[in-house]
């Protein structure tokens, strides 16, 4: 990467959590995410890359702010009310003391106020994420007294049960920056002025995943086989199409989730397929994932069969509709 693009970088990160009847689990997710980030330096890979680069701004190379947006997908258990009453909240510890190598400004600044949007009825995970994307600001760059200050607006889509380990955010940021840097050097259309606005997507790859139950394992295998069959394995360019942990630029999120046709279980496949159609740079990044109890898809053995058949039908129909041009991906 070129130093001129990386000096004085600032990330505006929004964590977007779609939630349906998650009152019993989302409090732990919110407190875990907020406390971890408030004690974590922003993008450690970048700091290491620029460690030997001397400038008047080296004490403020990287900074970041974090806000959390929960979209309550018509929950009936009081999920939104639970978040708003803040009984789950614990005071954030803040950056650790005594670290002379890292400026306090280089830690994530976490907004303690969680924003909540409530949908009038349950419309599906894809619909909830789409609604959340509408609320997000776009990426922008602004000048600074240093070489430049690049402000990148990013969104991390995660599951409300906290299955995705938030400690993987640094790894995913590194994947995103590497991808943007490579794209910048290979594209004649890229300039410093639009560097922070380029759509880009990083999809989590769940490593060493051990499902909590044989039924969930059966559903996962069935879904993976369906996608492989309908897309010839390589067309999507992503191995784990089911992972709910995705980091992207806001510009990518607004395009990929705009007017989704698949708004429930299979929305991830359409999002990734749209990225391929629109030639949005996409990378896969290994993450730590803990399969949590409480699946809302499978409660008995017969559910695995019916859900698998429904998913097969939705994805097959999606493949057909895009092939016919009935459904389109528009930038």
Are 5 and 192 contacting, i.e. CB atoms less than 8 angstroms apart?
yes
Tell me whether residue 144 is exposed, middle or buried, using C-beta atoms within 10 angstroms of its C-beta: 0 to 12, 13 to 18, 19 or more.
middle
Mean pLDDT of 228-253: 83
Sign of the CA dihedral with 260 first, then 152, 104, and 4 last: positive
Q: Which two tokens stand for residue 328?
A: 């389109």
Distance CA(252)–CA(283), nearest Å, equals 13
pLDDT band at 8 (very low <50, low <70, confident <90, very high): low
- Model pLDDT for residues 261-290, shown as the tens digit of each residue: 999 888 999 999 999 999 999 999 999 988
Sign of the CA dihedral with 283 first, then 168, 270, and 215 last: positive
Of the two residues 101 and 214, the one the predictor is more confident about is 214
Q: Where are the alpha helices (DSSP H) in the chain?
A: 3-6, 26-38, 44-49, 79-85, 125-134, 169-186, 214-230, 250-256, 267-277, 301-324
Mean pLDDT of 303-319: 82
Of the two residues 219 and 108, the one the predictor is more confident about is 108
Most confident of 2-6, 289-293, 325-329: 325-329
- Model pLDDT for residues 86-115, shown as the tens digit of each residue: 888 876 656 665 555 556 668 899 999 999
The distance from CA 11 to its chain's CA centroid, rounded to whole angstroms, is: 14
Using alpha carbons, select from 201, 84, 83 the residue that is nearest to residue 133: 201
- Matching residue, tokens 């929305």: 267
Are 147 and 4 contacting, i.e. CB atoms less than 8 angstroms apart?
yes
In the predicted structure, residue 251 carries a pLDDT above the cut 90: yes
Neighbours of 211 (CB within 10 A): 14
Residues 6+ apart with CB under 8 A from 151: 10, 11, 12, 139, 140, 141, 142, 196
- 3-class secondary-structure state, position 171: helix
- Matching residue, tokens 């600044």: 109
Distance CA(149)–CA(51), nearest Å, equals 18
HSE (side-chain half, CA atoms, 13 Å) at 3: 14
- Matching residue, tokens 């940021």: 173
Q: Which two tokens stand for residue 85?
A: 């009453």
Are 278 and 329 contacting, i.e. CB atoms less than 8 angstroms apart?
yes
Domain boundaries defined on the chain = 3-209+242-291
Question: For the stretch 108-128, what's the b/e string if a residue is b when 16 or more beta carbons lie within 10 angstroms of its beta carbon?
Answer: bbbeeebebbbbeebbbbbbb
Q: What is the pTM of this model?
A: 0.84
In the predicted structure, residue 139 carries a pLDDT above the cut 70: no
What pairing do the DSSP bridges indicate for beta strands 140-142 and 149-157? antiparallel
- Matching residue, tokens 């806000």: 67
Predicted confidence at residue 51, as pLDDT, reads 40
Predicted confidence at residue 168, as pLDDT, reads 93
Average predicted confidence (pLDDT) for the chain: 80
Most confident of 176-190, 234-248, 302-316: 234-248
Superfamily of domain 3-209+242-291: Spore Coat Polysaccharide Biosynthesis Protein SpsA; Chain A (3.90.550.10)
- Model pLDDT for residues 13-47, shown as the tens digit of each residue: 999 999 999 999 999 999 999 999 999 888 776 54
């Amino acid at each position: 990467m070129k130093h001129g693009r990386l000096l004085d970088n600032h990330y505006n990160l929004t964590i977007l959590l779609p939630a349906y009847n998650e009152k019993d689990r989302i409090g732990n997710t919110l407190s875990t995410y907020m406390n971890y980030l408030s004690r974590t330096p922003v993008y450690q890979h970048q700091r290491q890359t620029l460690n030997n680069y001397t400038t008047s701004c080296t004490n403020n190379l990287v900074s970041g702010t974090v806000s959390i947006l929960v979209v309550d997908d018509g929950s009936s258990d009081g999920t939104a009310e639970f978040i708003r009453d803040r009984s789950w909240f614990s005071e954030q510890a803040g950056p650790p003391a005594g670290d002379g190598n890292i400026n306090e400004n280089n830690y994530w600044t976490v907004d303690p106020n969680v924003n909540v949007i409530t949908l009038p009825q349950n419309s599906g995970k894809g619909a909830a994420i789409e609604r959340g994307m509408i609320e997000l600001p776009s990426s922008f760059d602004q000048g600074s007294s240093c070489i430049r200050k690049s402000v990148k607006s990013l969104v991390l889509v995660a599951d409300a049960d906290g299955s995705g380990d938030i400690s993987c955010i640094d790894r995913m940021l590194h994947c995103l920056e590497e991808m943007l840097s490579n794209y910048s050097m290979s594209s004649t259309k890229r300039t410093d002025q639009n560097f922070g606005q380029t759509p880009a997507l990083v999809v989590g790859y769940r490593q060493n995943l051990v499902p909590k139950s044989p039924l969930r394992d059966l559903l996962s295998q069935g879904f993976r086989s369906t996608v492989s069959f309908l897309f010839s394995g390589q067309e999507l360019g992503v191995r784990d199409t089911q992972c709910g942990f995705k980091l992207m630029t806001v510009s990518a999120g607004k395009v990929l989730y705009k007017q989704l046709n698949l708004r429930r279980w299979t929305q991830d496949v359409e999002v990734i397929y749209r990225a391929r159609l629109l030639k949005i740079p996409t990378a896969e990044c290994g993450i730590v994932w803990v399969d949590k109890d409480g699946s809302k898809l499978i409660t008995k053995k017969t559910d695995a069969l019916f859900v698998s058949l429904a998913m097969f039908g939705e994805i097959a129909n999606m493949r057909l509709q895009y092939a016919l041009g009935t459904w389109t991906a528009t930038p």
